[in-house]
Amino acid sequence: MSSLRETASAAEIGWRISTDKKAADARLPALSADEQAFLLDLSSTFREWTKHHDLPAPAAAVAEVERLLDAQASTDGLDLEPDQRAYLSNAARAHLAGFAPLDNFLSDPALEEIAVIGLNHPVYIYCRKEGWKRTNASITSMEHLTHLINKMARPLGRRVSAESPRINALLPDGSRLHASIPPLSAGELTVRRHAVRAWSAADLLASGSLNAQALAFLWLAFQSDSSVLVAGNTASGKTTLLDALLGFIPLSERMLVIEETPELRPAHPHKVGLICNDELSIGMADLVRDSLRMRPDRVVVGEVRTPAETQAYMETLLSGQARGSYATFHAQSASETLRRLVNLGASPDDLVSLDFLVIQRRIAHYEMKSRQQKELRRLLGIYMLAPSEKAAGLGNTNLVPLPLMEYDMRSGKLVPTPALSQGFARLAQKLGLTPAQVQKLYSERAKFLSSLPTSAEPQKIIEKIQSFAYR
């Protein structure tokens, strides 16, 4: 076997590496036809070996692949040159013990999404701060794509097949897997990466998604008995924002987190997580009813999407078993949030129990000088539900979202509105203080937040916040 690699179709092994120099690199070799044939023989040997041995841990599997590679080369009478031995070993490890050609992307903490959009198309990745990029990798056979999907879902006891051609699952590392095969699609796979670490208040400020003044107001909202709904479009950072805001709640309180898939990671030692289970027909509404007997100080209902989940969230607001209830919701604006809640079954009159709306959006931004189209995640507004003579299309209710702070698209800044004083008045009522005292706390906390070190770990930031506010 020559050490000279020819670029050839990799349909036999199910994946291909192109010579596209502008594409993100999968860090795998483009194998020649002979090298593909060698890897196929090695795959057969590895599969035969697994029939008689328990599937080892990843490190042991890699060692076994290395041993079998040398044995295969010896059997075939091949004298592999050092560089060829190195890149064949890399390809074999990824193909047999990993998720070739996705391994490099699955291990990159800067990526938020990895997407296979069909056979013989480039795999795409979503890079934080850079957006979507094509890669030099592609999947070339449905057999290999199905194998990858089932290999990812194996720890969960799940798989796709002709009878069950779709899967939505939470991977052991916290990432979300969605995939489908014919007849539902031409074959696709999306992995939404779970953040390596939770974000803190300092991280939010460093990202530019909001300013210290907005964060100080939300600190007081979360400290008080206020209930808050964080709404926005897909991948706008709603869960990341809510997770960071939970750090403003005293660590001494009991927190109950109800989710369909576990994403929130509050630092509170006294916390209980409940997970919905479709297979057992246990939904969010069932778990919310269970929470009535659990005496939580705070309840987080994760992501609200369906009529049943909307009803569950409304139950947490109305039942009064917690001093504050929180959730995320898909909507583009405050008014759309209220309309969608009503359309999903929330009683307009019951919405009075919701104190504040936070709108987090993923917005397009065009830079004139660089001529680059970018994507920003920004907090577009903080709203208080207040009575008005105008019904705003919400049935019989006279509630409207009153803007307290709103994002100015031209300046790129989040600015307070004259109605912010009404927000202070509501917080004063919740905290048992005067509006003047609340404004003093607001100013002190905005100054404190501005001084937080951006390089500190989230736990250290939470400790500073707790020490500052709850001595």
Highest mean pLDDT among 74-88, 111-125, 196-210: 111-125
Check pLDDT > 50 for residue 10.
no
- pLDDT (tens digit per residue) in 105-156: 999 988 989 999 999 999 999 997 788 999 999 999 999 999 999 999 988 8
Residue 88: predicted pLDDT: 87
**Cα separation, 298 vs 313, whole angstroms:** 13
Q: Are 58 and 97 in contact (CB under 8 A)?
A: yes
Residue-level pLDDT at 394: 54
- Indicate the pLDDT class of residue 434, thresholds 50, 70 and 90: very high
30 vs 387: which has the higher pLDDT:
30
HSE (side-chain half, CA atoms, 13 Å) at 426: 24
CB 31 within 8 A of CB 91: yes
Burial of 375 (0-12, 13-18, 19+ CB in 10 A): middle
Q: d(Cα 325, Cα 351) in Å, to the nearest integer?
A: 13
CB 243 within 8 A of CB 271: no
Mean pLDDT of 448-466: 93
Q: Which alpha helices (DSSP H) does 107-184 contain, by range?
A: 142-153
| pTM for the whole structure | 0.77
Task: Report in angstroms the alpha-carbon separations of 320 from 291, 316, 432.
Answer: 11, 7, 18
SS3 content of the chain, % helix, strand, coil (to 5): 40, 25, 40
H helices within 97-200, ranges in order? 103-106, 142-153
Range from 72-81, 229-238, 307-316, 364-373 that averages highest in pLDDT? 229-238
Closest by alpha carbon to 16, among 136, 114, 151?
Answer: 136
**Alpha-carbon distance 199 to 26, whole Å?**
28
Q: 78 by DSSP, 3-state: which? A: coil
pLDDT tens-digit readout, 390-415: 544 455 557 889 999 999 988 888 99
Q: Which residue has the higher pLDDT, 63 or 470?
A: 470
Give the model's pLDDT for residue 3: 40
- DSSP class of residue 288? H
Whole-number percent of the chain with pLDDT over 70: 93
Q: What is the pLDDT of residues 285-321, one digit of tens each?
A: 888 888 888 989 999 988 898 898 898 888 888 877 7
- What's the mean per-residue pLDDT of the chain? 87
> Residue 383: which pLDDT band, with cuts at 50, 70 and 90?
very high
What pLDDT shows up at residue 111? 92
CA-CA-CA-CA dihedral for 327, 331, 334, 335, to nearest 10: -130
Q: How far apart are CA 342 and CA 337, in angstroms?
A: 9
Per-position b or e across 148-175, b if 16+ CB within 10 A of its CB: bbeebbeeeeeebeeeebebebbbeeeb
Q: In what order do the strands lie in the sheet with 111-116?
A: 15-17, 131-139, 122-127, 111-116, 188-192, 176-180, 166-170
Taking only the tens place, the pLDDT of each residue in 338-380 is: 999 999 999 888 898 999 999 999 887 777 777 777 778 899 9
Structure tokens at 464: 């500073």
**CA–CA distance, 231 with 354 (Å, rounded to integer):** 13
Residue 7: per-residue pLDDT: 39
Interatomic CA distance for residues 388 and 390, integer angstroms: 5
Percent of the chain with pLDDT over 90: 54
